[in-house]
Amino acid sequence: MLLQGKRLLVTGVLTDSSIAYNVARIAQEQGAEIVLTGFGRGLTITRTVAERLPAPCDVLEMDVTEPDHLERVADGLQRRWGRLDGVVHATAFAPASTLGGGFLTARWEDVATAFHVSTYSFAAFGRVFGPLLAASEHGSLVGLDFDADRAWPGYDWMGVAKAGLESCCRYLARELGPQGVRVNLVAAGPLRTVAAKSIEGFAASEQLWPRLAPLGWDVADTEPVGRVVCALLSGWLPAVTGEVLHVDGGAHAIGAPALDGPGKESTEAKELA
């Protein structure tokens, strides 16, 4: 029971294929008590999906772009629990104009929305929930990431927002470390979630990844990512902060698909060219 007695806030549960859903499920199975968040039309959906978890849990309304929402949730959790052992930031959004080849044409207003939801909100979580996490023995803030070291087809401004998220993680780790709070990101390989399906070019990454990953990669299986997030939420990694942990089958470490022989490209490599 890795998370026995832990009290966690999990954002981003929209369907049972969401990474955040598997985080919540595994956390409950490992003994945690959780609260979910949702907002707008998605709030009803999150409440419906929450019923599929192993144990009933509350779903609070929280739009990450609304400071009042963040403060209200923090105040409610202070009254309910008096502390938070972990917070999962599984929140990202970019308008369609900023994706799918819109890097040079996207308006600043749309880019700003992507940064507000996907990057700045992580720092806002640290500011608002930091005191609650500091009240825990092993407070942990964990965000979801996608490899921002390279430019991916169709990812465009979301890729830039994720690069900002990685930098934000390091600064938050610096700011919250003295309070005993750890801040980390988990960079997942491509997974067939609702958000991913809306990104033009996702199919290319989906096909490429299993060929690159030494351990292989199943785009339909979010459990490996959920397990690592839960490990970071636990007290088993007390000296790890400011990190981006790649859970991608090892693809981030590989430059190209394997060769069939010396100087000879494999059939798969030719197909990717």
Residues 6+ away with beta carbon under 8 Å from 251: 189, 209, 212, 213, 214, 217
Alpha carbons within 13 angstroms on the beta-carbon side of residue 128 total 24
Query: CA 164 to CA 130: how far, in whole Å?
Result: 20
Q: What residues are annotated to the active site?
A: 155, 162
**Res. 270: pLDDT tops 50:** no
Query: What's the rounded mean pLDDT across residues 64-93?
Result: 97
Identify whether the C-beta of residue 121 lies closer than 8 Å to the C-beta of residue 164.
no
pLDDT tens digits for range 118-167? 999 999 999 999 999 999 999 999 999 998 988 988 899 999 999 999 99
**pLDDT the model gives residue 247:** 95
**pLDDT the model gives residue 194:** 60
**pLDDT the model gives residue 267:** 44
- Tell me the CA distances in angstroms from 37 to 21, 63, 192, 241, one per residue in order: 11, 9, 22, 25
pLDDT tens digits for range 241-258? 999 999 999 988 887 776
**pLDDT the model gives residue 258:** 67
Query: What's the rounded mean pLDDT across residues 200-215?
Result: 74
Residue with the two structure tokens 């998370």: 3
Identify whether the C-beta of residue 9 lies closer than 8 Å to the C-beta of residue 34.
yes
Query: CA 236 to CA 2: how far, in whole Å?
Result: 8
**Res. 86: pLDDT tops 50:** yes
| Among candidate residues 189, 186, 185, the one with its CA nearest the CA of residue 221 | 189
**pLDDT the model gives residue 259:** 60
pLDDT tens digits for range 18-77? 999 999 999 999 999 999 999 998 899 999 999 999 999 999 999 999 999 999 999 999
CA dihedral sign of residues 216, 235, 37, 116: negative
**Res. 263: pLDDT tops 50:** no
**Res. 262: pLDDT tops 60:** no
Name the range with the highest mean pLDDT among 144-153, 216-225, 230-239.
230-239
**Res. 271: pLDDT tops 90:** no
Alpha carbons within 13 angstroms on the beta-carbon side of residue 243 total 14
**Res. 273: pLDDT tops 50:** no
Identify whether the C-beta of residue 162 lies closer than 8 Å to the C-beta of residue 89.
no
Domain ranges of the chain: 7-272
Q: What is the CATH number of domain 7-272?
A: 3.40.50.720
**pLDDT the model gives residue 126:** 98
**pLDDT the model gives residue 205:** 66
Per-residue three-class SS string for the chain: CCCCCCEEEECCCCCCCCHHHHHHHHHHHCCCEEEEEECCHHHHHHHHHHCCCCCCCCEEECCCCCHHHHHHHHHHHHHHCCCCCEEEECCCCCCHHHCCCCCCCCCHHHHHHHHHHHHHHHHHHHHHHHHHHHCCCCCEEEEEECCCCCCCCCCHHHHHHHHHHHHHHHHHHHHHHHHCCEEEEEEECCCCCHHHHCCCCHHHHHHHHHHHCCCCCCCCCCHHHHHHHHHHHCCCCCCCCCCEEEECCCHHHCCCCCCCECCECCHHHHHHC
**pLDDT the model gives residue 253:** 84
| Among candidate residues 104, 52, 99, 64, the one with its CA nearest the CA of residue 196 | 99
pLDDT tens digits for range 172-193? 999 999 999 999 999 998 886 6
**pLDDT the model gives residue 272:** 43
What count of other Cβ atoms lies within 10 Å of the Cβ of residue 160? 20
Task: Report which of residues 43 and 269 the model is more confident about.
Answer: 43
